[in-house]
Structure 1
Amino acid sequence: MIVLGIESSCDETGVAVYDTARGLRAHAVYSQVALHAEYGGVVPELASRDHVRKLLPLVRQTLDEAGIALREVEGVAYTAGPGLVGALLVGAGVARALAWALEVPAIGVHHMEGHLLAPLMRIDGEAAMAAPPAPPFVALLVSGGHTQLVHVEAIGRYRLLGETLDDAAGEAFDKTAKLMGLPYPGGPELARLAGEGRPERFRFARPMTDRPGLDFSFSGLKTQVLLAWQRSDGSAATRADIARGFEDAVVETLAIKCLRAVEATDVDTLVVAGGVGANLRLRAALDAAMRARGGRVCFPPPALCTDNGAMIAFAGALRLEAGQHADAAVQVRPRWDMTALPAVA
Structure 2
Amino acid sequence: MKKNYLFTSESVSEGHPDKVCDRISDMVVDTYLGMEPQARVACETLTTTNKVVLAGETRGPDINKDELISKVRNCIKDIGYDQDGFTYKEATKIECHLHSQSADIAMGVDSSGNKDEGAGDQGIMFGYACNETDVLMPAPIHFSHRILRLMAEDRKSGKLKGIEPDSKSQITIEYKDGVPANVKSVVISTQHSKDVNLSKVKELCIPYIEKSIPKNLLGQLDENEIYINPTGNFVIGGPDGDTGLTGRKIIVDTYGGAAPHGGGAFSGKDPTKVDRSAAYASRYLAKNIVASKVSDKCLIQLAYAIGVSKPLSIYVDLFSNDEEKNKHVEKLIKDNFDLSPRGIREMLGLNKPIYEKSAAYGHFGREPESNGAFSWEKTDKVSVFK
Could you tell me the TM-score, scaled by structure 2's length?
0.26
Larger radius of gyration: 2
